[in-house]
Amino acid sequence: MEFQIVSNTERINTSAYQVYFSLSKLSNFDSIPKGKGVNNWETTEDTLSFNFKNFIFICFRIIEREEYKLIKIASEGKNPFSYKIWIQLKEINYNDTRMRITMRAEMGIIKKILLKRFLKKMISDFASQIAQSFNVRVS
């Protein structure tokens, strides 16, 4: 069963170029703090993988880039379910970029019931944290 989750639209006080440049290379995520239970973190420019609590393996790859506008990511390998994530950027003015994250996931009904609320919070928190990280830099 497929379903979609969309984050709030976040305002980022910098150019779409700067946001895109930071997010379009997954190796840039090496410097972020890892959550509790995250280990075996590995990145390349196009892939990111890790284990969560030595139980769940997560791996994804950037499959499409549209400069300053879109980064499309898809699950890869033995993830607990199949998904795609779109990070969409729209520059309003030079120091005003809007960002929204959309996730489409394919999973059984039981997993959907158990995970949908968690995934919604995860996607919303991720969008908010990205915006906050840029807004702190330019304040």
Q: How far apart are CA 88 and CA 10, in angstroms?
A: 10
Q: What is the phi/psi pair of residue 19, to 5°?
A: -65, -50
What pLDDT, on a 0 to 100 scale, did the predictor assign at position 52?
A: 83
Q: Which domain holds residue 69?
A: 2-138
Total domains in the fold of the chain: 1
Distance CA(139)–CA(126), nearest Å, equals 20
CATH of the domain at 12: 3.30.530.20
The 8-class DSSP code of residue 89 comes to E
The two structure tokens encoding residue 71: 């980064």
What's the pLDDT at 20? 97
DSSP assigned state of 76: -
Q: Are strands 2-6 and 96-106 parallel, antiparallel or unpaired?
A: antiparallel
Q: What is the pLDDT at residue 139? A: 41
Using CA atoms, how far residue 56 sits from 48, 50, 84, 87, 96, in Å, is 14, 8, 18, 23, 37
What confidence tens digit (pLDDT) does each residue in 23-51 have? 999 999 887 767 778 888 999 999 999 99
Residues of the chain with confidence (pLDDT) below 50: 138-139
C-alpha separations of 110 from 5, 83, 115 in Å: 17, 16, 9
Identify which of 91, 71, 79 has the alpha carbon closest to the alpha carbon of residue 17: 91
The confidence score (pLDDT) of residue 138 equals: 45
| C-alpha to C-alpha distance for 80 and 39, rounded to whole angstroms | 17
